[in-house]
Amino acid sequence: MVPEKELVSKVLAGDARAFKCLVEQYQRLVLHVSSRMIRNEDDLSDVCQEVFIKVHKGLGTFTFQSKLSTWIARIAYLTSVNHLRKYKNDQLNRSTSENDELDNLHFTEHTPERILIRKDVNAYVHHLIAQLPLNYRTVLTLYHLQEFSYQEIEEITGMPEGTVKNYLFRAKKLLREKLELYLKHE
């Protein structure tokens, strides 16, 4: 893994190989952040490309006050949110609305997909996560999958630290309850 500063200075000097290396290094991060928000795979690929174009364009303004990964994750988050706003009537992305009501959330249980994933705990949890409201999905991904701190998640999403903690706590509690029921029935 190339050090951040070296990579950034090479990209700024116009080194295409360094930029390719940067994309290779951060493509999983961008994919994970965006895929939790955008369902359509074609759109997802376009959004990821747009994120890296913005990264290239804005790299000159990056001041190293935060980690490069935090800065890129913020661009990925904002680009995905903008994409959702732009195509909010799109059927494929409709379930990614910014509705934060977790209490009234109704999970689909008896779908063919649910039957297929019956024996797979991980798939079941991912099936549940996919149905959570947008902000819950985002903080779960950033905290557990990308291992960002609360402060970094605040920087990325703009949500206050308390809200991030609250979303994480509530989402995990709900997932735990659902998983407990699921394992009892299996």
Partner 1 sequence: MKNEELDRLLMQALKEEPKVDLPLGFPAMVTRHVFARSRQFKASVAAVAWGLLTGCLVFIGLFILNASLAEQLLRILYSGKFVLLTVVVAFLGVQYLDQRFVKLRQS
Name the residues that contact partner 1, by CB under 8 A. 14, 16, 19-21, 23-24, 27-28, 31-32, 35-36, 41, 44-45, 48-50, 52-53, 56-57, 121-122, 124-126, 129, 140, 144-145, 172, 175-176, 179-180, 183-184
CB 64 within 8 A of CB 20: no
CB of 114 vs partner 1, minimal distance in Å: 15
- Please give the DSSP secondary-structure letter assigned to residue 141: I
Give the separation between CA 125 and CA 123, rounded to whole angstroms: 5
Contact 154, 160 (CB under 8 A): yes
Q: How far is the CB of 69 from partner 1 (least distance, A)?
A: 16
If the CB atoms of residues 31 and 81 are measured against partner 1, the closer one turns out to be 31
Between residues 1 and 65, which has the closer beta carbon with respect to partner 1?
A: 1
Q: How far is CA 58 from CA 9, 18, 71, 156, in A?
A: 13, 16, 10, 16
Estimate the crossing angle of helix 161-185 against helix 121-129, to 10 degrees.
140
In whole angstroms, how close is the CB of 94 to partner 1 at the nearest point? 18
Which residue number, 132 or 159, has a Cβ lying nearer to partner 1?
Answer: 132
Q: Which is nearer to partner 1, 103 or 186 (CB)?
A: 186
- Choose between 32 and 170: whose C-beta lies nearer to partner 1: 32
Q: Minimal distance in Å, beta carbon 162 to partner 1?
A: 21
How far is 75 from 69, CA to CA, in rounded Å?
10
CB of 106 to partner 1, least distance (A): 21
